[in-house]
Chains A and B, each alone.
Chain A
Amino acid sequence: AQRVTQPEKLLSVFKGAPVELKCNYSYSGSPELFWYVQYSRQRLQLLLRHISRESIKGFTADLNKGETSFHLKKPFAQEEDSAMYYCALQSKAAGNKLTFGGGTRVLVKP
């Protein structure tokens, strides 16, 4: 069975400080991992996917297969980064359905 764990429900940081959101997964196959962001009362939006290896809005995430992690990082948080962040795992074996973590709420204080 596949599982995604986000251990922090809430992260509160000051503007300009680094922020790291943790994501760990369990999956027997070769995973495809994503970060989605949900701003207040809006739809979920794709932020990053691990195969793209790109930086979006200053965020990066590296897949560490040894530690089964896909942590999201940003060196200097901005107030507009305040949102709910979800880590998700996609399984080709399961019809490409997504399994989401519980989400981490990020609050960036001025």
Chain B
Amino acid sequence: DAGVIQSPRHEVTEMGQEVTLRCKPISGHNSLFWYRQTMMRGLELLIYFNNNVPIDDSGMPEDRFSAKMPNASFSTLKIQPSEPRDSAVYFCASSLVPQPQHFGDGTRLSIL
């Protein structure tokens, strides 16, 4: 298995632009998680899905952030409009509950 696949690996864009991050979970996994990693705040859970249904989005910073999981093999995290403070590494993880989560390589996002 190729593991959790995230794209793009790096994204640099200007503030105000829409940013879309993509994640393909491991086949057969039934849970998907989006995390944000920054120096100041460490690893934060943004949102997670069970069986494609959003369960807890309490970590989503504000309405500019949205996440979807249209099917079991794909999820997106969208920021619109983006701001410099959104610059971070965004990780996607998946698991077959109750097994441990497997993480993707992350997307390094820089908002100028």
B91-A100 in contact (CB<8A): no
Question: Is there a chain A Cβ closer than 8 Å to B31's Cβ?
Answer: yes
Closest B residue to A100 by CB, please name it.
B43
Among B56, B102, B103, the most chain A Cβ lie within 10 Å of the Cβ of B103
Kindly supply a per-residue 1/0 record for chain B positions 73-111, scoring 1 wherever the CB is within 8 Å of any chain A CB and 0 otherwise: 000000000000000000101010110111111100000
A85-105 near B? 1/0 per residue, CB < 8 Å: 010001010111111111100
**Is B100 within 8 A of A49, CB to CB?**
yes
In the complex, which residues of chain A have a beta carbon less than 8 angstroms from the beta carbon of B105?
42-43
Q: Kindly report which residue of chain B lies nearest to residue A96, judged by CB atoms.
A: B97
Count of chain A residues near B, Cβ 8 A: 22
Does more than half of chain B's interface fall in helix, strand or loop, or is it mixed? strand
Chain B residues packing against A (C-beta within 8 Å): 31, 33, 42-43, 45, 48, 50, 55-56, 91, 93, 95, 97-98, 100-106
State the 3 A-B residue pairs at the shortest beta-carbon distance, nearest first.
Answer: A100-B43, A44-B103, A43-B103
Indicate whether A97 sits within 8 Å of B33 (C-beta atoms), given known contacts A43-B106, A86-B43: yes
Question: Are B43 and A103 within 8 A (Cβ)?
Answer: yes
CA distance A106 to B63 in the complex (A): 37
Decide if B42 touches A46 in the complex (CB within 8 Å).
no
* Bound CA span A99–B58, Å: 13
CA distance A92 to B102 in the complex (A): 17
Query: Which of B33, B43, B98, B106 has the most CB atoms of chain A within a 10 A radius of its CB?
Result: B43
Q: What is the distance, in angstroms, from B57's C-beta to the closest C-beta of chain A?
A: 11
The residue of chain A having its C-beta at the shortest distance from the C-beta of B41 within the complex is A102
